[in-house]
């Protein structure tokens, strides 16, 4: 059976997974994420080498290698803008990797499919093929982490856009009076509904005097308030923090509803770090979405579900794309 290797490059680690065409994990490696392009390329090649060693007699079945990276990746696999890779940018990963990985997979003329894509696009492909979107043809993955990423599947295929930059739902402006965003605009969805956005809303409430418990938890420093303090205070039943979470939820549901209007997916899948505390952080938004927002005739709001593949979704999806399981 054909095997695909997926490599997910994060700011701190690279996760490598060898997957069969049914979406079963066959082998896995993890290494630290280097800070220079040359070391990054070498680390990726080393990951492939290590996975091939783990595959042993199955190694000749590898038909594809996919790499997921955080940032804007063009249709040629070149990484342009990224905030999370130690300042590295304009990385032509296919050019750097094709030769060395080809050597590992059988030398010059080795036949394999090499793809490089945005990590959220990879995760969307994985959740579509093997995760929460399995069985449906239209889904949108929204990753709620430090920022908000996204990937769109329409009729079983990734909606890439003309330059492969599609799916950046986190940079849709939902409130033009909102805070500045690193992208140059104001009030992007990720300014409100990511981990960073939660901290922003929490600090704003603390400054306004409506959530004093957060200041206690942050040692008296409003600027030190982070999402963990919100989770802690919420677990204590703090009413001020409950109001912060309602506000957080209203922004979250607003962006989800916008996605429904524009794309009408069969489901929206929520992934990313915030999902780990979904019962606290995401419950208000999901409740507001489900109770106040219905599109179309009758009670047919588009379901919002949690991702099922966890932190491996990016690597799984890079493998799926390299195998052509998702196009």
In this chain, which of 81, 103, 216, 221 binds its own copies, going by CB under 8 A? 81
83 scored as a contact of its own copies (CB under 8 A): no
Per CB under 8 A, the segment of 42-50, 52-60, 212-220, 263-271 that binds its own copies is 263-271
- From residue 178 to residue 197, the character string flagging contacts with its own copies as x (rule: CB under 8 A) and all else as - is ------xx------------
By the rule CB under 8 A, 12 interacts with its own copies: no
Q: Interface with its own copies includes 87 (CB under 8 A)?
A: no
Alpha helices, DSSP H, located in the chain: 37-55, 93-104, 119-130, 190-193, 195-207, 212-217, 227-235, 239-263, 278-281, 283-292, 313-323
Tokens representing 258 are 């916008």
Query: Which one, 257 or 313, has the nearer CB to its own copies?
Result: 257
| CA dihedral sign of residues 226, 283, 193, 32 | positive
Binding residue (CB under 8 A) for its own copies from 19, 214, 257, 321:
257
167 binds its own copies (CB under 8 A): yes
Answer yes or no: are the C-beta atoms of 14 and 8 closer than 8 Å: yes
- Residues between 142 and 161 that touch its own copies (CB under 8 A): 150, 152, 154-155, 157, 159-161
Of residues 25, 29, 36, the one with CA closest to residue 13: 29
Sign of the alpha-carbon torsion through 113, 57, 2, 30: negative
Subset of residues 275 to 304 that bind its own copies, contact rule: CB under 8 A: 292-293, 295-297, 300, 302
- Decide: is 72 part of the binding site for its own copies (CB under 8 A): yes
**Residue 24: both structure tokens together:** 């079963």
Residue with tokens 């957060």: 214
φ, ψ of residue 316 in degrees (nearest 5)? -60, -45
Residues making contact with its own copies (CB under 8 A): 72, 74, 80-81, 90, 136-138, 150, 152, 154-155, 157, 159-169, 171-177, 184-185, 250, 254, 257-259, 261-267, 292-293, 295-297, 300, 302
């Amino acid at each position: 059976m054909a095997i695909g290797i997926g490599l997910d490059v994060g700011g701190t680690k690279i996760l490598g997974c060898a997957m069969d065409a049914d979406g079963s994990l066959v082998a896995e490696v993890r290494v630290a994420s280097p800070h220079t392009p040359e070391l990054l390329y070498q680390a990726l090649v080393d990951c492939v080498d290590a996975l091939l060693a783990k595959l042993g007699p199955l190694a000749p079945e590898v038909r594809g290698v996919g790499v997921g990276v955080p940032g804007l990746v063009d249709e040629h696999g070149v990484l342009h803008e990224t905030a999370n890779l130690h300042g590295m940018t304009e990385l032509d990963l296919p050019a750097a990797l094709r030769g060395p990985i080809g050597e590992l997979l059988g030398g010059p003329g080795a036949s394999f499919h090499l793809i490089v894509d945005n990590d959220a696009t990879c995760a969307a492909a994985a959740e579509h093929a093997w995760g929460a979107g399995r069985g449906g043809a239209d889904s949108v993955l929204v990753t709620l982490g430090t920022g908000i990423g996204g990937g769109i599947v329409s009729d079983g295929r990734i909606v890439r856009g003309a330059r492969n930059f599609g799916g950046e739902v986190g940079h849709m402006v939902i409130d033009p009076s909102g805070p500045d965003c690193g992208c140059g605009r104001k009030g992007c969805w990720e300014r409100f509904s990511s981990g960073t956005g939660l901290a922003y809303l929490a600090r704003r409430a603390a400054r306004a005097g409506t959530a004093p418990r957060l200041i206690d938890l942050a040692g008296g420093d409003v600027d030190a308030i982070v999402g963990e303090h919100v989770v802690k205070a919420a677990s204590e039943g703090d009413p001020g923090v409950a109001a912060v979470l309602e506000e957080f939820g209203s922004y979250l549901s607003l962006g989800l509803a916008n996605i429904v209007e524009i794309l009408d997916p069969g489901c929206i899948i929520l992934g990313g770090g915030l999902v780990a505390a979904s019962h606290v952080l995401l419950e208000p938004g999901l409740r507001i979405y489900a109770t106040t927002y219905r599109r179309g005739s009758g009670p047919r709001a588009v379901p919002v579900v949690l991702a099922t593949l966890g932190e491996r979704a990016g690597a799984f999806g890079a493998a799926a794309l390299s195998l052509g399981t998702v196009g």
